[in-house]
Amino acid sequence: MIKIRAKQIRSILLIIIITAFFFLATVWDSIYYRFAAVPEEIQYLGSFSCENCHQAEYDDWYNSLHRKMMRRVAEDGAILADFDSANTPAGLHIEDAHWVIGSKWEQQFMGHDGRTETLLPGAWNVASESWKTKSWDGWSEPFPLQRCHGCHTVGLDLTTGDFVEAGISCESCHGPGQWHVKSKGIAKIHSGLEAEQCGQCHLRGRSVDGATFFPHGFKPGQNLDDFFVEWEPDYIQNSSAWWGNGRERKRHQQYTAWKVGGHVNALQSLTENYSGKYGEVTPDCLQCHSAEGFFATDKPLKLEDAQNGITCSVCHQVHGDLDKPRAQCADCHTQGAYYHQEESLKDHIPCPLEEITCVDCHMPLTVKNGGYYSIRTHHPGIVEPKESEQFGVPSSCANSGCHKNTSVEELTEKFNHFYSKPTSPIPR
């Protein structure tokens, strides 16, 4: 009887020791991975490695336009172009295409020359259902490795041309995931709210060394300016990419435009430049002045812990439905454009409120994409009719179908009548 009890005790002790060992090992791993510096040389794994732990985000991303930025031509539904069209470019054959780029505005196709991908001559305009072969020098210099792959692939090796995954996926914005996956989710992975994650692709220019049209070597969390030199407007005359008033004329320039708008400095205007006119600064103010404050729904963020102004992820559903706004202008601009002055809102808009929205006037469609003006400027502010006369840029008044058949002269007269004193309450 005593021997049986001794064996039982030994078995229980052994179980306790083994359990304690695994518990301590788990605790040690948790402490180690949580506080250890992320190694410099970690690998990209691909989006499939994120699916098991982040199913909802993965599903949203999988159905998004980002995943469809570069796909195999054999994928169901990938090809929208008509290769049998009457205006199909000479020498352009579906049999030569390996990859398709784009799915909404236009599609381009890539073949392979035995060493690397090469752009095929022509782009399919989805809106007009026709091919175009002019207005871009990429077809005369068809090198996706220097032009496209930095934003349309994940884990690109610029030396070999190899990449881990096609399309814009989880690691495009969060950085390489090997360290995070190895630690079973404990180790750090970038999940900041700064705009550089989006900016790495939504801008135009050249890498610092001039070798590529994208910031090769950049990883989320780093300073984008260390890797890229942006093309910027000169505010004097039109260029191929910018209107003379500084608004975007081509796509992929939202980041550069956002940097000169008020949203980027929303936090600084509160913590450094605020006069105190509208009351004391409290953590509650961060909900509209800081990206971190916007997402801190459980409890207010401390003022000193806010890092960014209003960045891309505040307004955009970054994982999934990119066209559906996460936040509305009225969520923060509840009292109109005159900074919390209730009395100004009643005179703010002379047009019927049920027919227009904030963005129709303050973020007009200035970017010609897919055959017509289809992308809004990300430099918020009114584009006056006189700017249309000077540069040809669509004005706020003639935007979204409003007053599109009204002359610039008449629009200018009406605009001056209603908005003659933009810095004070406006008389009707």
For residue 31, give the 3-state DSSP assignment.
helix
Q: What is the mean pLDDT of residues 49-70?
A: 95
Once rounded to an integer, what is the mean pLDDT over residues 316-337? 81
**Predicted confidence (pLDDT) at residue 425 exceeds the cutoff of 60:** no
Residue 66 lies in a domain: yes
Q: Is residue 153 part of a domain?
A: yes
pLDDT at 188: 84
Lowest mean pLDDT among 13-17, 128-132, 205-209, 252-256: 13-17
Residue 110 lies in a domain: yes
Q: For residue 246, with 0-12 CB atoms within 10 Å meaning exposed, 13-18 middle and 19 or more buried, which class applies? A: buried
User: Is 160 a residue whose pLDDT tops 50?
Assistant: yes
Q: How many CA atoms lie within 13 A of 389 on its CB side?
A: 11
User: pLDDT tens, 236-288?
Assistant: 999 999 999 999 999 999 999 999 999 999 999 999 988 887 788 989 899 99
Q: How far apart are CA 41 and CA 31, in angstroms?
A: 21
Q: Please compute the mean of the pLDDT values over residues 67-74 and round it to a whole number.
A: 96
The pLDDT of residue 336 is 45
Q: Is the pLDDT of residue 418 over 70?
A: yes
The two three-digit tokens of residue 361, written as one number: 């006037």
pLDDT at 428: 32
* pLDDT confidence bin for 328, thresholds 50/70/90: confident
Cα angle 266, 270, 274 (rounded to 5 degrees) comes to: 125
Compute the C-alpha angle 363/369/374, nearest 5°: 35
pLDDT of residue 137: 74
Phi, psi of 195 (to 5 degrees): -85, -10
List phi, psi (to 5°) of 124: -90, 120
Measured between alpha carbons, how far is 233 from 210 in angstroms, rounded to an integer? Answer: 19
CA terminus-to-terminus distance, the chain: 101
Residue 83 lies in a domain: yes
| pLDDT, tens digit, 9 for 90 and up, residues 102-136 | 988 899 999 998 888 999 999 999 988 999 888 77
Cα atoms in the Cβ-side hemisphere of radius 13 Å centred on 64: 22
pLDDT of residue 338: 43
Mean of the pLDDT values across residues 314-337?
82
pLDDT score recorded for residue 23: 56
Residue 203: what pLDDT?
A: 95
Positive or negative, the CA dihedral 313, 372, 367, 332 is: negative
Residue 41 lies in a domain: no
Q: Is 129 left (phi over 0), alpha (psi -120 to 50) or beta?
A: left
Could you give the count of Cα atoms lying within 13 Å of 326 in the half-sphere of its Cβ?
15
Q: How far, rounded to the nearest angstrom, does the alpha carbon of residue 179 sit from its chain's CA centroid?
A: 25
pLDDT average, residue stretch 143-171: 95
Q: What is the DSSP string of 344-382?
A: HHTTT--S-TTT--HHHHHS-EEEEETTEEEEE-SS-S-
Residue recorded with tokens 């006037």: 361
- What percentage of the chain has pLDDT greater than the value 70? 87
Element spanning 7, H or E: helix 2-35
Q: How confident is the model at residue 346 (pLDDT cuts 50, 70, 90)?
A: low
Q: How many CA atoms lie within 13 A of 42 on its CB side?
A: 21
| Structural domain boundaries enclosing 125 | 48-192
Domain annotation covers residue 305: no
Domain assignment present for 203: no
Q: How many CB atoms lie within 10 A of CB 380?
A: 19
Taking only the tens place, the pLDDT of each residue in 83-98 is: 999 899 988 999 999 9
What ranges in 272-356 are assigned the alpha helix state H? Answer: 286-289, 291-295, 312-315, 342-345
Query: How high is the mean pLDDT of the chain?
Result: 86
The verdict on residue 163 lying in a domain is yes
Res 152: pLDDT: 96
The C-alpha atoms of residue 248 and residue 383 are separated, in whole angstroms, by 12
Indicate the DSSP class of residue 38: P
Tokens found for residue 28: 């040690």
Q: Spell out the residues 6+ positions from residue 48 whose beta carbon is closer than 8 angstroms to its own.
A: none
The C-alpha atoms of residue 415 and residue 389 are separated, in whole angstroms, by 14
Give the span between the Cα atoms of 325 and 332, in whole angstroms: 14
Give whole-number Cα distances, 372 to 102, 251, 281, 367, 401, in Å.
17, 12, 44, 8, 13
What is the distance between the alpha carbons of residues 414 and 402, in angstroms, rounded to a whole number? 13
pLDDT-based confidence at 20, cuts 50/70/90?
A: low
Quote the number of domains for the chain: 1
- Confidence at residue 426, expressed as pLDDT on a 0 to 100 scale: 37
Say if residue 226's pLDDT is above 50: yes
Which ranges of 162-224 would DSSP assign to H, the alpha helix?
Answer: 170-174, 178-182, 196-199
Backbone angles phi, psi at 132, to 5 degrees: -130, 150
